[in-house]
Amino acid sequence: MLVRVNCATICGSDVHTWVGRRIEPTPCVLGHEIVGTIIAIGEAVAPDLHGDPLAIGDRVTWTLAASCGECFFCHHDLPQKCESLLKYGHTKALPGRELHGGFADCCLLAPGTGIVKVPASLADELAAPANCAVATVAACCRLADPLDGVVAVVLGCGVLGLFACAMARALGAAEVIACDVAPAREKIARAFGAGHFAAPNTLLQTARALSDGRGADVVIELSGSPKAVSLGIEVLRLGGTAIVAGTTIPCEPVALDPHQLMRRMLTIRGVHNYAPRDLVAAMDFLEKHATTLPLELLNGGSFPLTEIDSAFEAAAAKPGTRVAVIP
Ligand SMILES: [Zn+2]
Ligand SMILES: [Zn+2]
C-alpha cells in the first residue's frame, strides 16, 4: 500500500538520532509518527485493525513496525519483537524498499503493518503521535492493568508522561501523581489529568500520603532517567507494579536489591514498541478525549519538509512538544 504523507511529527527518538545519541543504519528515512492518505493499494491487502476494508483516499496511521505473524515472537504475543521486524523510520533503505520513513512525500506500507483509519475529528498533527507516543502509553497502561481505583505515579512529564497521566485518569486511577525534575512541568501535568505533582525528593512522601502509607500501586516510568527507575521501585507498595518504558537509549545500570524485590513481591515490566491493539486503544483514546485534553499545548509548530533542519532544531529546543513536518 502506498501512502502520501500528510504529516509526520518528530518523536524524541528522532531527535536522539539527529544529535547522534542513537545510531540508525544509513541511508535511512527518519520519521515514524505519520498520518497519510492511501494513494495505491496492492493485491490482497488486509483490512484495518478494526476489520474494515481500506480504500484509496482513506486517511490512516499505522503501527510503527510491521511483523511477519509467523515467527516465535509473533506466536508468543510479542509481534513488536518479530524476528523480521520492519520499523518505519528506523530501517536501512534497500533497493525497492526506500520509502519507509515519514519525512518524505510517500511511505510504502509492508504486509504485517497494523493500519487504522484516522477519525475525521482529529487533525493530522494531533493524530500523528498516536502511533508512537500514545500507543506506547496504551501498552504501558495495558501491562499495568488494572488501573481502576489505583494510586498511579507517572515519572517524567514529557509528551508520553502527559498522555500517561491522562490515560491513567481515563482508565479510572483514583490518584495520579506526576513527577518531574522540572517544577515548571506541574501546570501542564495537571492540565493532562494529574491530580498531584511531586519533585523526585518529595515523591515518596506524596505517594504514601495518598495511600495510607503503603506507596503507589503502579509506577509508569517515562522519563528516560535510570535514577527515576530506582525511585519508581522505591515508591511502589508491597505487590506493586513498575512499568519501565522511558529509557530508549543505553544508560547506566541501577542497583536492585533482590531481597527487597522478593519480600515486597514487586513486578517490574519493560515496554518497548507496542502491539497493534495498543494503536487501536490509542486512537480510540484520542478520538474520545481530543476535545477535553489541552492537546494544543503539545503543538511545537509545523515546518515544510524542505525546512526539515529547522524542524529538528525546533524539536530539540522544545522537548515536551511535537513539531510537525509537512511535505
Ligand atoms: Zn517514536
Ligand atoms: Zn514475526
Query: CATH number for the domain including 73?
Result: 3.90.180.10
Answer for the pair 312, 7: CB distance below 8 angstroms, yes or no. Answer: no
Residues 182 and 125 in one domain: no
Residues 144 and 201 in one domain: yes
Instruction: Among the bound ligands, name the one nearest to the CA of residue 128.
Output: 1
pLDDT at 153 over 90: yes
**289-315: average pLDDT:** 95
- State the DSSP string of 4-24: EEEEEE--HHHHHHHHTSS--
- How many Cα atoms are found within 13 Å in the side-chain-facing hemisphere of 7? 19
pLDDT in tens, 264-299: 999 999 999 999 999 999 999 999 999 999 999 999
pLDDT of residue 23: 87
Entry pTM? 0.95
pLDDT of residue 250: 83
Query: Which triple of cell numbers denotes residue 217?
Result: 500501586
CA distance 49 to 116: 6
Instruction: Among the bound ligands, name the one nearest to the CA of residue 74.
Output: 2
Residues 94 and 164 in one domain: no
Residues 142 and 115 in one domain: no
Query: CATH number for the domain including 265?
Result: 3.40.50.720
Instruction: Among the bound ligands, name the one nearest to the CA of residue 86.
Output: 2
Domain span holding position 41: 2-131+294-326
pLDDT of residue 22: 87
Ligand 2: centre distance to CA 208 (Å): 43
Whole-number percent of the chain with pLDDT over 70: 100
Residues 58 and 90 in one domain: yes
- Assigned domain for 284 exists: no
Ligand 2: centre distance to CA 149 (Å): 36
Ligand 1: centre distance to CA 211 (Å): 33
**How far is CA 30 from each of CA 72, 89, 90, 218, rounded to the nearest angstrom?**
28, 4, 6, 33
pLDDT at 78 over 90: yes
- State the DSSP string of 111-138: TTEEEEEPPTTS-HHHHGGGGTHHHHHH
pLDDT of residue 117: 97
Query: Which triple of cell numbers denotes residue 59?
Result: 486517511
Ligand 1: centre distance to CA 217 (Å): 27
Mean pLDDT rounded to a whole number for the chain? 95
- Assigned domain for 281 exists: no
Ligand 2: centre distance to CA 235 (Å): 36
